[in-house]
Amino acid sequence: MRHYDGITVNWDRTYLIGKDGNEIDVPQQFLDKLPKEYQLKGELYVCDADYEETVSIIESSDWDRVKFVIHNSTDLQHLSIYKRHNIYRDLGAEKIPIADLHFFAL
């Protein structure tokens, strides 16, 4: 399994919220690609970047390189892992150009 060294976030259908509970300043074009129907737990990451570099890229507003990885959804916990995986896969198929959505069974 690939290790992502990114920033843990929650998507509340409107904002990306960091672990500290604060809203992360995200370009609207990135938010527009995220699904409005599910709250998601995940991670913002940049391919081939460590944590510090990822933070630097996000703070510099270079969002073309930023991806979102889904870890889970509080809205879908009642479903089997297979059904959740299919939903996440379908979301990713629509959103790949900006929010590259992946699912990992932890």
Average pLDDT in the chain: 80
Strand 7-11's sheet: what is its strand order?
Answer: 16-18, 7-11, 40-46, 66-72
pLDDT classification of 3: cutoffs 50, 70, 90: low
Instruction: Return d(Cα 86, Cα 74) in angstroms, integer.
Output: 16
**Which superfamily is assigned to 7-95 in CATH?**
DNA ligase/mRNA capping enzyme (3.30.470.30)
- Structural domain boundaries in the chain: 7-95
What are 32-87's pLDDT values in tens digits? 888 888 898 888 888 888 889 988 988 887 888 888 888 888 888 899 888 887 88
